Amino acid sequence: MYDGLRMTDPFQEFPRLAPRRFAARTLPALLLATASRQPERLFLRFLEPPAAAGGAPAPPRALSRAAFAAGVGRAAAFLRSVGVGPGERVLLLAENSPEWQMVALGVQLLRAEPAALFASLGADTVAGIARRVRPRVIFVSSAAQWEKLAALAPELVKAGLAAVVIGESQAARSLPEGLAVVLLATIVGDEARGLPLAELAALAAAVGEEDPFLLLFTSGTTGRPKGVRLAQRAMVHALDAGQASVATTEDDVGLHFLPFGHIAGHAQFTLALAQGHELIMVARREELERGLELSPTYFFSVPLVYERMRDGVEAKIAALPALLRATTRRALAAAARRRLDGSPALWDLLGTRLADLLVGRALRARLGGRVRGLFAGGAPAPPALFRFFESLRIPLVELYGMSETAGMISSNLLAGPRRESCAGLISADHEVRFGADGELQVRGPLLLSGFLESEDEVEAWTADGFFRTGDLGRVDEQGFLYIEGRRKSLIMLSTGKKLSPEAIELTLGATAPFQGAVLFGEGRPFVAAAVFVDREELARLAAAGKDAATALLPRARGALAAFSDFEKPKKLLVLPGTPQDYPALLTPTLKIKRDALLAAYGPAVAALFGAR
């Protein structure tokens, strides 16, 4: 380990992720560069949800590079006509679609600032953010989304709102007098007035690296969402590093479904736009299977989706006859030893071939037959998940970043090397150091240009301009970054011992029958945990007359054999099902909100510490 990096020397040399630079340095310029190169080449295939529940899905809607760029020009022409320009903002509250990005890029062409919200946010949260944004234009996908803002409309009009763009023909109610409401199709459709190519090029050339790319709102597990302002400069530097790590080319086809309220959704989309490779875009997770049928070459997802894929394989293995089930599991273990641990044993070689035959071939077919890499971000991937896919020769490439760093701090490499529980090599565009407490601090062109409100700047930066990530980490001798928890999540026991809960929660949540876990114990003599448990397992325990919390505690502690005894829970609060069964407890990126869980189950958590 580089001990110097733990302290104050930001210039300590160690191996880095070397960016591959794009010639153009803004997204509008990259858009036009790609569109002018093979303009008729396919860029997007969009899988729209069925028009009605249970209805037949429509065929994929295809857009060429030129067609997408023309849509951006039409959006810009409309936005300019209603007063959008430098210093103005456009609020986007809509599910993913090509038109979402047409509007956002149209805003960027005018050097204005697009503000992205998760479409899943509740009305109170949406209204609170809209008050802070004070948009000139609002784009909503549906009347249902507009209803989240309808009561606030008069206030927003007084603050400068001039128009609402809506994606469907249903009339929205509660429209103040004088507020223009236009259908999305009338501003980006083929019949809409666009911009001449020369004017489009002139607008793109005028966009500078410090002009806005996006205003994002963090979906942290506690507190008010912070408005993170990213400049063109930050996103393009993130693409430079991303291009080096994921090694995609113009011939790749990505499956895209991460929401545009999250920086990861933009990372994949903008890389495809800059490189010119094709994307299969889906608006809902329910359409993923249709996307797989179109044979993508790579995915970018939060680890949870890959866990569900692995769970599907495990369920099929569990249903096999006993002898074949045992053989398959031994073969998978052998493949992991062979491919990840370097085992030379003959049985492990034979087991690896058997695992490929029994599991790998079917899994690859289910993934569309052409997948050469799975990319994961937004949360750490459990070690068992990494070993599962890597043992079957399906690379699982973890990237690490946050909204404030345009989604990029470090990455493992598709072309190797990759390590489990590792954030990879840090981009050479970052100066890095670690504080005395191990907090990772970064400085450089990948950083945000600021927060929406000055109050959020407090404690975000060091006196010499380093951004405090809030993550605890270390770098090893080969330059690989390991994230070991959140500084603010540290639990201090009354015994004086400290622990970072994230790695413990991750390990426990990845061990059957547990589906997720949250640790508690601040100021207490020991650690307890709320655990989400498979309902079938709970039914089996109930049928046997066993108390679930008592019966599962030894299994929970056994799963944590690698941790110290004081880090293992001594009491459990059992919640049936998965975290996804409790939407009020989750952020839009599916992280468990610790404060929300405490608010909902406070007395039950307190009772865990009532007696030793």
Q: Where are the domains of the chain?
A: 27-47+58-276, 490-608
> CA-to-CA distance for 551 and 507, rounded, in angstroms?
19
Asked if the model's pLDDT at residue 336 lies above 90, the reply is yes
Range 498-523 average pLDDT: 88
**Which of 209, 201, 202 shows the shortest CA–CA distance to 238?**
209
Q: How far is CA 459 from CA 134, 405, 456, 490, in A?
A: 26, 16, 8, 18
27-47+58-276 fold:
Rossmann fold (3.40.50)
**Cβ pair 404, 228 in contact under 8 A:** yes
> CA-to-CA distance for 137 and 159, rounded, in angstroms?
11
Beta-bridge partner residues of 357: none
Q: Which residues contact 393 (CB under 8 A, 6 or more apart)?
A: 339, 356, 360
**Cβ pair 426, 17 in contact under 8 A:** yes
**Cβ pair 263, 407 in contact under 8 A:** yes
Asked if the model's pLDDT at residue 453 lies above 60, the reply is yes
Q: Tokens 């911009």 appear where? A: 195
**Cβ pair 528, 608 in contact under 8 A:** yes
Range 495-511 average pLDDT: 85
Asked if the model's pLDDT at residue 153 lies above 80, the reply is yes
Asked if the model's pLDDT at residue 407 lies above 90, the reply is yes
How many Cβ atoms sit within 10 Å of the Cβ of residue 8?
15
Local structure of residue 172 (DSSP, 8 states): P
Asked if the model's pLDDT at residue 594 lies above 90, the reply is no
Q: Which residues of 171-206 are buried (b: 16+ CB within 10 A; e: fewer)?
A: ebeebeeebeeeebeebbeeebebbeeeebeebbee
Q: Tokens 């510490």 appear where? A: 609
User: What is the band of 114 on the pLDDT scale with cuts at 50, 70, 90?
Assistant: very high
How many Cβ atoms sit within 10 Å of the Cβ of residue 506?
21
pLDDT digits over 564-576, tens only?
888 999 999 999 9
Q: Which residues contact 530 (CB under 8 A, 6 or more apart)?
A: 517, 518, 520, 572, 573, 575, 597, 601, 605
User: What is the band of 12 on the pLDDT scale with cuts at 50, 70, 90?
Assistant: low
pLDDT digits over 301-312, tens only?
988 889 889 989
Residue, of 165 and 565, whose pLDDT is higher: 165
**Which of 187, 368, 220, 391 shows the shortest CA–CA distance to 290?**
368
Asked if the model's pLDDT at residue 10 lies above 90, the reply is no
Beta-bridge partner residues of 373: 298
Alpha helices in 359-437 (DSSP H): 361-366, 383-391
Asked if the model's pLDDT at residue 3 lies above 80, the reply is no
- Mean pLDDT lowest for which of 103-112, 172-181, 516-525, 550-559? 172-181
> What is residue 170's predicted lDDT score, i.e. its pLDDT?
63
User: What is the total residue count of the chain?
Assistant: 612
Half-sphere exposure of 463 (CA within 13 A, CB side): 1
Range 314-325 average pLDDT: 94
Kindly report the backbone phi and psi dihedral angles of residue 244, in degrees, each rounded to the nearest multiple of 5, phi listed first. Answer: -70, -35
**Cβ pair 190, 196 in contact under 8 A:** no
Asked if the model's pLDDT at residue 524 lies above 90, the reply is no
- Mean per-residue pLDDT over the chain, rounded: 91
Asked if the model's pLDDT at residue 523 lies above 90, the reply is no
**% of the chain residues with pLDDT over 90:** 74
**% of the chain residues with pLDDT over 70:** 96
Range 354-364 average pLDDT: 97
Asked if the model's pLDDT at residue 4 lies above 50, the reply is no
Please tell me the pTM assigned to this model: 0.88
**Which of 427, 104, 140, 108 shows the shortest CA–CA distance to 269?**
104
User: What is the band of 380 on the pLDDT scale with cuts at 50, 70, 90?
Assistant: confident
> CA-to-CA distance for 405 and 388, rounded, in angstroms?
30
User: What is the band of 8 on the pLDDT scale with cuts at 50, 70, 90?
Assistant: very low
| Burial of residue 1, with CB atoms counted within 10 A of its CB: 0-12 exposed, 13-18 middle, 19 or more buried | exposed
User: What is the band of 561 on the pLDDT scale with cuts at 50, 70, 90?
Assistant: confident
539 Rama class: left (phi>0) / alpha (psi -120 to 50) / beta: alpha
> What is residue 378's predicted lDDT score, i.e. its pLDDT?
83
> What is residue 2's predicted lDDT score, i.e. its pLDDT?
31
CATH code given to domain 490-608: 3.30.300.30
Kindly report the backbone phi and psi dihedral angles of residue 471, in degrees, each rounded to the nearest multiple of 5, phi listed first. Answer: -100, 140
> What is residue 247's predicted lDDT score, i.e. its pLDDT?
93
pLDDT digits over 26-61, tens only?
999 999 999 999 999 999 999 988 876 777 888 999
> What is residue 1's predicted lDDT score, i.e. its pLDDT?
29
Range 360-389 average pLDDT: 93
**Which of 422, 260, 391 shows the shortest CA–CA distance to 313?**
391
Kindly report the backbone phi and psi dihedral angles of residue 231, in degrees, each rounded to the nearest multiple of 5, phi listed first. Answer: -90, 165
Range 284-309 average pLDDT: 91
Q: Which residues of 585-604 are buried (b: 16+ CB within 10 A; e: fewer)?
A: bbbbbbbbbbebbeebbeee
